[in-house]
Chain A
Amino acid sequence: MRRATFIAACIIAAMAILVPVLNLWVPADSALHIPDHLVPLLGKYLCFAILALALDLAWGYCGILSLGHGAFFALGGYAMGMYLMRQIGSRGVYANPILPDFMVFLNWKDLPWYWYGFDMFWFAAIMVMLVPGLLAFVFGWFAFRSRVTGVYLSIITQALTYALLLAFFRNDMGFGGNNGLTDFKDILGFNIQSQGTRAALFAATALTLAAFLLMLQWIVASRLGKVMVAVRDAESRTRFIGYRVEHVKLFAFTLSAVMAGVAGALYVPQVGIINPGEFSPANSIEIVIWSAVGGRGTLVGPIIGALTVNAGKSYFTAAFPDAWLLVLGALFVCVTLFLPRGIVGTLSEWWEKRPQRTAAQAPVASMEAAQ
């Protein structure tokens, strides 16, 4: 498993170089050229892969089935969106140097206090991780301490994202209401629409995914990773040998939320918009499907799941727009019935069985040799 992770991390890191090169420097008439519209699309898939990987830490390894991970993704996205909004400055429709357009439109006179600091990238970058992390920590602190588990936990995470959806739809929340944040101009001084920036954003996303993959490999191989699996499989046993189950869960859940937030922050500049729709409960359920299809409890699985399901989604929504939800539903049913461990889980199970067969034959052989 460990080797598969390293190979996957290398492939993803190689993509960080290869895709921008093939897009920017290979002539457009070459067969190897990656068209401009494909770069942000691939970048979007990789953001979803980060998100699926994040959920897998909580669900696949620690048994916390969160049906609200979309909320952490969206919060990270909003934090990045706020930075991008403030970069617009006086280039907006109303040319207000401080207030984003939607605030001028609502006749607001002052910037709300929670928009302070977002004109600085470093501040926004911290908030991208801090806001989802803090929410997950506080939420998890109460939920895990009260020993809310299983389906009850899943339901309240779903309620969490739904509550945020409703809150962010309101104009007086100060996040652009229904329309969300959009019309971004530049990021760190680079034009957000330019092909070079898009290639750089893709590379940043791929490198982040590779780094997260290696980080999680290190975590799940540590004793803490084993304790997480122990919590997943036999929570009370873990407690009775002296581990504080709530602390282990809190660590996994909070780290997972931070990763989801980073995924959201990388997503927003590449798609050019963040709106309350990202909080929709259906989005969070889709993340679960990606992980389940790819193989939860493996690190490479959720990435493969997110990429294949989303590539399928892009194809089906273009070719058969009405059929997509049916296909998604059928896919989930089929995977649950026929591949309960997902694509990668099933493959690795098949792979692990091979050496075992030879090992089982070995003692018989040696006994026969002794006789």
Chain B
Amino acid sequence: MSKRGSILYLDGITVSFDGFKALNSLSLIVGQGEMRAIIGPNGAGKTTMMDVITGKTRPDEGEALFDGNVDLLTRDEATIARLGIGRKFQRPSVFESHTVWDNIELALEGNRGVVDSLFHRLSPAEMARIEEVLETVGLTAQARRLAAHLSHGQKQWLEIGMLLAQEPKLLLVDEPVAGMTDDETAATARLLKRIAREKAVVVVEHDMSFVRELGVRVTVLHEGAVLAEGSLDAVSADPRVIEVYLGR
């Protein structure tokens, strides 16, 4: 696959912190509408990669393109978010003193300017969209509750709902099932698979059974570079992957 037809194209991305290479010439291509799981041991560079894509960290070298032609490395977080890249953090990050409804409303696709926000009135179409998103993430009954009062799993879903409301083309999801019960994990897998029908999704995850449930192409990161890529069965049979995970 080339730049054309890719939603995310990373080539030779290198990030070093005080000489330590968090990413070492990382290259990764995710196709339009593709869902990809990224696994790797601690310190493999998964979160740093997300930081580079979303504009939080600037790499020392390399190329990062969105949608085949948009350079991500010259833009800041807010601009990248508006281009259509949504990011879910590892720990649930929602607006605790707002209701579930308001959380989704704030994330809703639309003008983000100060003046527009001041005079904005919620249109019926937007309300319908908020209800639809709440339905998708299963929080309709919680709409009027404060986000602070949600359970850990519900907060994770709310955050995924906020991503959906942004109408992104690409979702970056960092460890969505960490700390979830088995039932919640299964529900999250179903949710992500449903979302992946319409959007490209990149999921970083430690939980192997969850990755198996997703049933998608897997990229293994190790020491800031791609170690292996393929189906979960193929990569788990790869001796280098086994060594990284079990060896030493």
Mark A residues whose CB is within 8 Å of B.
Answer: 219, 222-224, 226-227, 229-230, 233-234, 236-245, 247-248, 251
B229: interface (CB < 8 Å): no
Other A-B contacts than A226-B105, A241-B86, 4 sampled, CB-CB below 8 A, are A224-B114, A224-B117, A224-B120, A238-B95
- The CA-CA distance from A223 to B120 in the complex, in Å, is 7
- Whether A242 touches B78, Cβ cut-off 8 Å, given contacts A229-B97, A230-B106, is yes
Is there an interface contact between B93 and A226, defined as CB atoms closer than 8 Å?
no
Residue in chain A with minimal CB distance to B119: A222
Is there an interface contact between B93 and A237, defined as CB atoms closer than 8 Å?
yes
Is there an interface contact between B54 and A244, defined as CB atoms closer than 8 Å?
no
- The CA-CA distance from A233 to B93 in the complex, in Å, is 9
Is there an interface contact between A234 and B114, defined as CB atoms closer than 8 Å?
no
Residue in chain B with minimal CB distance to A250: B114
In the bound complex, residues from chain B placing their C-beta under 8 Å from that of A248 are 114, 117
Q: Which of A224, A238, A240 has the most CB of B within 10 A?
A: A240
Residue in chain A with minimal CB distance to B149: A356
Is there an interface contact between B77 and A224, defined as CB atoms closer than 8 Å?
no
- The CA-CA distance from A226 to B177 in the complex, in Å, is 28
- The CA-CA distance from A244 to B118 in the complex, in Å, is 14
In the bound complex, residues from chain B placing their C-beta under 8 Å from that of A238 are 95, 106
In the bound complex, residues from chain A placing their C-beta under 8 Å from that of B77 are 236, 239-240
Is there an interface contact between B166 and A242, defined as CB atoms closer than 8 Å?
yes
* Chain B residues with a Cβ closer than 8 Å to the other chain, count: 27
Contact with A along B85-110 (1 / 0, CB 8 A): 01101000111111000100111000
In the bound complex, residues from chain B placing their C-beta under 8 Å from that of A247 are 113-114
- The CA-CA distance from A248 to B106 in the complex, in Å, is 13
In the bound complex, residues from chain A placing their C-beta under 8 Å from that of B78 are 239, 242-245
- The CA-CA distance from A77 to B81 in the complex, in Å, is 43
In the bound complex, residues from chain B placing their C-beta under 8 Å from that of A233 are 95-98
- The CA-CA distance from A224 to B106 in the complex, in Å, is 9
- Whether A223 touches B105, Cβ cut-off 8 Å, given contacts A239-B81, A240-B87, A244-B112, is yes
In the bound complex, residues from chain B placing their C-beta under 8 Å from that of A234 are 93-96
In the bound complex, residues from chain B placing their C-beta under 8 Å from that of A240 are 54, 77, 81, 86-87, 89
Residue in chain B with minimal CB distance to A237: B93
- The CA-CA distance from A276 to B147 in the complex, in Å, is 46
Is there an interface contact between A241 and B118, defined as CB atoms closer than 8 Å?
no
- Whether A227 touches B54, Cβ cut-off 8 Å, given contacts A234-B93, A240-B81, A243-B112, is no
- The CA-CA distance from A236 to B76 in the complex, in Å, is 12
Is there an interface contact between A237 and B95, defined as CB atoms closer than 8 Å?
yes
- The CA-CA distance from A243 to B106 in the complex, in Å, is 9
Is there an interface contact between A227 and B117, defined as CB atoms closer than 8 Å?
yes
- The CA-CA distance from A219 to B117 in the complex, in Å, is 10
Partner of A222 from the list B86, B87, B98, B118 (CB cut-off 8 Å) is: B118
Partner of A230 from the list B81, B95, B114, B120 (CB cut-off 8 Å) is: B95
Residue in chain A with minimal CB distance to B93: A237
In the bound complex, residues from chain B placing their C-beta under 8 Å from that of A243 are 78, 106, 112
Is there an interface contact between B118 and A223, defined as CB atoms closer than 8 Å?
yes
- The CA-CA distance from A190 to B118 in the complex, in Å, is 39
B206: interface (CB < 8 Å): no
In the bound complex, residues from chain A placing their C-beta under 8 Å from that of B139 are none
In the bound complex, residues from chain A placing their C-beta under 8 Å from that of B112 are 242-244
